[in-house]
Structures are given as structure tokens and as C-alpha cells.
Amino acid sequence: MIELEEVWRTYRLGGEPIHALAGISERIEAGEHVAIMGPSGSGKSTLLHVLGCLDRPTAGSYRLDGQDVTQLEDDALAELRGHRIGFVFQAYHLVARLSAEANVELPMVFLGVPRGERRRRAAAALEAVGLLDRRRHRPAELSGGQRQRVAIARATVMRPRLLLADEPTGNLDSAAGAQVLDLLDQLHAEGITLVVVTHDPEVARRAGRVLVLRDGRVAARLAGSELGGLERALGRGKPGP
Amino acid sequence: MSALDLIAFATTALAGHRLRSALSLLGVAIGVAAVVLLTALGEAARAYVVGQFEALGTNLLIVIPGRTETSGGLPGVGKPPHDLTLGDAEALRRGIAQARHVVPVVIGTERVAHQGRQRDAIIVGTTHEFLAVRRLGVGIGGFLPPLEQRRSLPVVVLGSKLAAELFPGQNPLGRIVRIGGWRMRTIGVLVPRGVQLGLNLDEIALVPVGTGMRMFDRTSLFRILIELGAHTELEAARERARAIIRERHGEEDVTCLSQDAVLGAFSSILGALTAALAGIALVSLSVAGIGIMNVMLVSVSERTAEIGLLKALGARRRQVLAAFLAEAVLLALAGGVLGLLAAAGAGQAVSWYVPALQIRPPAWAVAAALGLSVGAGALFGLLPALRAVRLDPVAALARAGG
């Protein structure tokens, strides 16, 4: 469960304060599927980084599963990220020199999971994303969709309760994107809390709830099913595809 | 994260940029090879010189006429020292219980000739004990016979090269050579021994000490060599020798040298030389260290996204530091091992061409070179690794990655 209270994230750019997040208060229940939308620069990614404990709020409080994480040391945050949070990035961020299997094993290497156990869990995670037969392949030998599925296997191999995805289909064609989204839906169905940042209404539509950000604030809260109102909320006034 | 995982991760990272890794590894290898080889060379030179002295034995006391201390007054005004005589040698023999051999030596240069062949040679007038004290060997014939010291006998023992030049293809035994105005019978030839302390023993001629003194019209010996039973008796013998001379001359007008003093001086000079060589070599090793730093800095900036990822995946600061340090240290260690192998090969080659220089890298140099290369890897890897640790994961991940 995520509780944000008056969360601010302020950068200084040439002496001028920029409020990437300007007082966000939000509650995301365990097992929810939330999409975050909004125009570029609205603070979507910053919010995701704060949720993922990669970035600290300048002000306000963030409680993850009842624990105030704004006060934690760097190493405690690393521990939290390792065990409780999984990340999926638009650019996949696979390590190019490592095989798919080694990429999936990577978090376990740094979290001290023994070798044999690592093999077993990496194989299971790759099997779950349908890529067990590609485990020896390097990222360059995989398609974009396959790379993102390897990244999902890596993000979930530690069985985190929270999965954060930043434009997970942004670099994929619609077929590969649908496959990735199905996989995320399946993980959500298994009980994971899923937060997805996206531009794409097709992606957001799958979420139970959509937060629309604007200038670092939540401009609208919609149900995934009422995305008809999305275009209005974004102020584009343009009919959907 | 186990050490094995750390090494495996660092190895894949190094393999990810092979050429760069190989080049900086080569830099370390050259640095380490330089350290090992140059110190080994210095050590070999020291061992060679020390070996020269030790061939004479370290329990040798050398009595030289004249004092080493500067006396007051104008130069040339001081009283000349007493002669060091055969009588003194005899007194030393009788007076020093520890002495195994007491050998008077007189030296001069004279023309040695046989049937039109002639050359200038150093003539050493001494006794039969000279053979043992200077560790010489007789090739053919015999050595100087034991004689009452003042007696003169027209016999000569030739150095091997001198004999070969005067008697090419002939047996010199029993033949007469002319030394200055003296006709001397050849009774033996030394085995080749080469240069010892600047004196080429293959080119000398040995005559009885009494003959030598008359030949050069000397009243004073060049020096007296006293060989003792053991090195530990040196100081006692030195005191005794001084006392005897003081009693006989009325003053202490001789200098008693031991090999120790000369050896110590040479050894410390060559030790300083070795240290200087090692210092030069260290410069090349530190250049190699900077090479490692460069490679690691490039590696860190190239792998910014990866570092961000590792942090997102839960890697702690210490682990990120360790991962990059391990990479630098592995590089340095591999370079160090390669450098040692290269140095061993080069050392073998030098020893092959110059047998006198036995290049055996001292154990401390090998250990130090390896330790230094690893230390340089850690030291010069630290800055890049700290840079990796300090990377902001959000900014790092924002860079496009694989």
C-alpha cells in the first residue's frame, strides 16, 4: 500500500526552482493497477521514481506498506528496491554483454541469492515470460518485445509486491506491446501492485484507475473504463484513435 | 554478493571492452616487468660484486702501510711511515693465534720475456700460502715452494693468459723467462680465474716474496694478508695486529682493512642503485595506474545506465564500489602476472647472454611488484568507482541504454 502526503519534488534549474511534483497526496491500495498519464513534463516519471525510492521527495511523506521511506538511508532504500519493488523501463535497460539468463539473475547476484537458487529462479522467471528457450541469447539477439519480457522477468524474479513500469510499450509495435501488456495484466491478476506511466490511452485503459498529472499535481482521477473523459482532462479536445 | 560473483561480474565487464582492457593491462604489465627486471638487475650487479669479494673470503684482514687518519701539519712534512717488513709479517704470524695464513705481498710491474716475445706484467712477490688465500688453482706444474721468507729463488708461476702468450702451443714448465734483468725458471701455470678486484689474475706472474723485494729493490711490503679461521675472530685479530705493529714500530702506522668495510661500501652503493632503478620503475607503474584510471573512468561514463540499473535493482553503495574496484584490481592483477612472466623471460635471456649476471628477481621485488600493481589498481580505480557510487540513479537511467 502506497500513501503519499503532500509530496513535493523541487529541482533547481539555474537558480530557479522547478516543481516537478507540487503537493501530491494519493493512496494506492495493495493489488491496485494504476496508470499515470499526463503531458511531457507533468511529473509522471518523477512520481514513478519517488514511488520506486530512486528519488527522494523534497517535502512531504511517502509511506510504503506503512513504513515512512523518506527517512531511510541509501542502503536501506537499496534493500527496499531489491526486495519489494520491480522496475520496467521503456529502454529495457538490459546489460548488453550479459545473456538473458544472466540479466534476470543480476538482481539476485547483488541481493546475495546463492548460485543454484539463482539459476532455478531465473529459469522459472524466463519460463513465465515464455523465453526459456532464449535464455542464452544476448539482448542484441532478441526483438524489442522479447527484451522487454526479459526485463519483466528480471523485475519480478525477486517477487516484489510493487511493479513500476515507465512507458513499457513505448518502444514496441502494437503486437509486441500487447504481449507485454498481457504479461503485466497477468502479474496484476496474481496480486502484484502495478503502476504504469504511459502516454498511450490503450495502455491506460487496462488500469483500474488512471491518475492524470498536470504541472506536478493530480489534475484528474478516472476509472480505466472512463477514458473517454481522458482527452478532455488532457485538454487536447481531440477524439481518440 | 560473494567474491566469486564479484569477480565474475567484473570479468564480464572487462570482456565487454576487450581492446581497452588489453591495452591498460599491457601498461601494467610493462610497469611491473620494469620494476621486477630493474631491481633484479640491480640485485644481480650487487650479487656479482659481493660474490667477487666473497671469493676472497670475508675473514680476511689486510694490513697496509700508512695510516688512514690525516695527521696534522703541512702535507709532506709528516714523518713517513715505517716500512712494513717481512719481519713484521713473521711477528704477526707468531703473534696472532687465530691466523690461518699470513701472506706478505709485494707488487711491481716488470717486462716478462721469452725468446723475443715480451709483455709488461704485474709481478706479485709472495709465499706459497697466497694460493690458498686468493683461492687460486694450479693448472700445470706446482706453486711457489714453502721457503724461508727472506730467501730468494729464481722461480716463477705464470698466469694462464701470460703463459699462453709467452709460450704459444708449448709447455712452459721448466723453461726460463726473463723478468727485467732476472732469469727465472717457470715452475707452474695458474688455472684461469679472470679479473678479481680489478686485478686480472690470468696476466700476473708470481715469484717468491724475497725475490720480488730484491727485484723491485723494495724495503717495504705492499701489504700483508691475514686469513683467519672464522669471521668472528676478525675484530680480535685486528686489535692484536695493531698492537703488534705498535710495539714494533713505536706507533700505529698501518691500516688494517677487512673485506667487510669494502664490501659494505660496495653493497650500500649498489643497494642505492637498485633503489634508484626501482624508483624509476615505479614511475612507469604509476603511469600504468593512471592508464587504469582512464580506462575505468571511460568504463563508468559508458556504463552510466548500467550503474543506474544496478542501483534500481537493489545494489548497495558498497557493492557498486566493489564491482568497479574489482574490475580495476583484476585488470591490474592480470597485468601484474603478465609483467612477472615477461620479466622472468627477459631475465632468463639476459642471464643467457651475460652469464656473470644471474638475474633472479628478488622475492621482495616480485611481491612488491604484484602488491603495487594491485594497490595501483585499487588506488586509481577508487576515483572512477566513487564516481559510479555517486551517480544519481534517476539521471543515470535517463541516459538511453540497452
- Write the ipTM: 0.89
Give the model's pLDDT for residue B371.
87
Which of A115-119, B288-292, B368-372 tops mean pLDDT? A115-119
- The residue type of B287 is V
Strand, coil or helix: what is B273? helix
CA-nearest of B169, B176, B166 to B119 is B166
Collect all residues with Cβ–Cβ distance below 8 Å to B371 and sequence separation of at least 6: none
Judge whether A178 lies within some domain: yes
Q: Does residue A215 contact residue A48 with C-beta atoms inside 8 Å?
A: no
Judge whether A152 lies within some domain: yes
Portion of chain B with pLDDT greater than 70, in percent: 94
The domain in which residue A159 lies consists of 2-234
Q: Does residue A197 contact residue A48 with C-beta atoms inside 8 Å?
A: yes
Mean pLDDT of chain B: 86
Q: Which residues of A166-183 are buried (b: 16+ CB within 10 A; e: fewer)?
A: bbbbbbbeeebbebbbeb
Q: Which residues of B299-333 are buried (b: 16+ CB within 10 A; e: fewer)?
A: bbeebbbbbbbbbbbbbbbebbbbbbbbbbbbbbb
Confidence category of residue A235, pLDDT binned at 50, 70, 90: low
CA-nearest of B204, B207, B224 to B215 is B207
| Candidates B4, B313, B391, partner chain A, best to mutate (most A CBs within 10 A) | B313
CA of B310 to nearest chain A CA: how many angstroms apart? 8
Average pLDDT of B337-359?
Answer: 86
- Give helix B86-95 / helix B234-249 axis angle, nearest 10°: 130
Model confidence at B402: pLDDT above 70: no
Q: What is the DSSP letter of B59?
A: S
Q: Does residue B29 contact residue B169 with C-beta atoms inside 8 Å?
A: no
List, in sequence order, the alpha helices (H) in chain A. 44-51, 74-84, 100-110, 115-128, 144-156, 174-189, 201-204, 230-234
Judge whether A240 lies within some domain: no
Dihedral sign of CA atoms B210, B212, B218, B223 in order: negative
Chain A's closest residue to B320, CA to CA, is A110
CA-nearest of A77, A59, A49, A48 to A9 is A59
Task: Compute φ and ψ for B279, nearest 5 degrees.
Answer: -65, -45
Chain B's closest residue to A140, CA to CA, is B402
Give the model's pLDDT for residue B373.
85
Instruction: Please state, in angstroms and rounded to a whole number, the distance separating the CA atoms of residues A126 and A134.
Output: 8
Grid cell at residue B262 = 669494502
Judge whether A61 lies within some domain: yes
CA angle A87, A89, A91 (to 5 degrees): 150
Q: What share of chain B is helix, strand, coil (3-state, %, to 5)?
A: 55, 20, 25
- The residue type of A7 is V
Please list every residue in chain A whose beta carbon sits closer than 8 Å to the beta carbon of residue B314.
Answer: 78-83, 107, 110-111, 158
Give the model's pLDDT for residue B75.
52
Inspect the interface and report whether the beta carbons of B315 and A102 lie closer than 8 Å.
no
Instruction: Please state, in angstroms and rounded to a whole number, the distance separating the CA atoms of residues B80 and B72.
Output: 13
Q: Does residue A52 contact residue A85 with C-beta atoms inside 8 Å?
A: yes
Inspect the interface and report whether the beta carbons of B402 and A78 lie closer than 8 Å.
no
Summarised one tens digit per residue, pLDDT across range A176-219 is: 999 999 999 999 999 999 999 999 988 999 999 999 999 999 99
Inspect the interface and report whether the beta carbons of A81 and B9 lie closer than 8 Å.
no
Instruction: Please state, in angstroms and rounded to a whole number, the distance separating the CA atoms of residues B223 and B257.
Output: 10
Q: Are strands A193-197 and A33-37 parallel, antiparallel or unpaired?
A: parallel
Structural domains in chain A (count): 1
Confidence category of residue B401, pLDDT binned at 50, 70, 90: very low
Collect all residues with Cβ–Cβ distance below 8 Å to B378 and sequence separation of at least 6: B325, B328, B329, B332
Instruction: Please state, in angstroms and rounded to a whole number, the distance separating the CA atoms of residues B84 and B67.
Output: 12
Instruction: Please state, in angstroms and rounded to a whole number, the distance separating the CA atoms of residues B28 and B38.
Output: 15
Confidence category of residue A239, pLDDT binned at 50, 70, 90: very low
Judge whether A149 lies within some domain: yes
- The residue type of B180 is G
CA-nearest of A204, A184, A201 to A192 is A184
Model confidence at B327: pLDDT above 70: yes
> A28: buried, middle or exposed (CB in 10 Å: 19+, 13-18, 0-12)?
buried
Please list every residue in chain B whose beta carbon sits closer than 8 Å to the beta carbon of residue A83.
Answer: 314
Instruction: Please state, in angstroms and rounded to a whole number, the distance separating the CA atoms of residues A215 and B297.
Output: 37
Length of chain A measured in residues: 241
Collect all residues with Cβ–Cβ distance below 8 Å to B33 and sequence separation of at least 6: B339, B340, B342, B343, B346
Inspect the interface and report whether the beta carbons of A82 and B314 lie closer than 8 Å.
yes
Inspect the interface and report whether the beta carbons of A154 and B306 lie closer than 8 Å.
no
Please list every residue in chain B whose beta carbon sits closer than 8 Å to the beta carbon of residue A96.
Answer: 16, 402
Chain B's closest residue to A156, CA to CA, is B313
Using a CB–CB cut-off of 8 Å, the residues of A that contact B are 49, 52, 54-55, 74-75, 78-83, 87, 89, 91-98, 102, 106-107, 109-112, 115, 139-140, 154, 158
Inspect the interface and report whether the beta carbons of A94 and B397 lie closer than 8 Å.
no
Summarised one tens digit per residue, pLDDT across range A47-59 is: 999 999 999 999 9
Summarised one tens digit per residue, pLDDT across range B22-53 is: 988 898 898 888 888 888 888 888 888 777 77
Instruction: Choose among A82, A98, A111: nearest Cβ to B12.
Output: A98
**Lowest mean pLDDT segment, chosen from A9-18, A39-48, B155-164, B228-237:** B228-237
Judge whether A41 lies within some domain: yes
Model confidence at B173: pLDDT above 50: yes
Where do we find the cell 488500469? A207
Please list every residue in chain A whose beta carbon sits closer than 8 Å to the beta carbon of residue B394.
Answer: 49, 54-55
Which residue has better confidence, B372 or A237?
B372
Instruction: Please state, in angstroms and rounded to a whole number, the distance separating the CA atoms of residues B270 and B46.
Output: 6
Query: What's A88's domain CATH number?
Result: 3.40.50.300
Mean pLDDT of chain A: 91
Judge whether A24 lies within some domain: yes
Give the model's pLDDT for residue A104.
96
Inspect the interface and report whether the beta carbons of A75 and B9 lie closer than 8 Å.
no
Q: Are strands A217-223 and B182-190 parallel, antiparallel or unpaired?
A: unpaired
Instruction: Please state, in angstroms and rounded to a whole number, the distance separating the CA atoms of residues B158 and B155.
Output: 10
CA of B334 to nearest chain A CA: how many angstroms apart? 21
Judge whether A239 lies within some domain: no
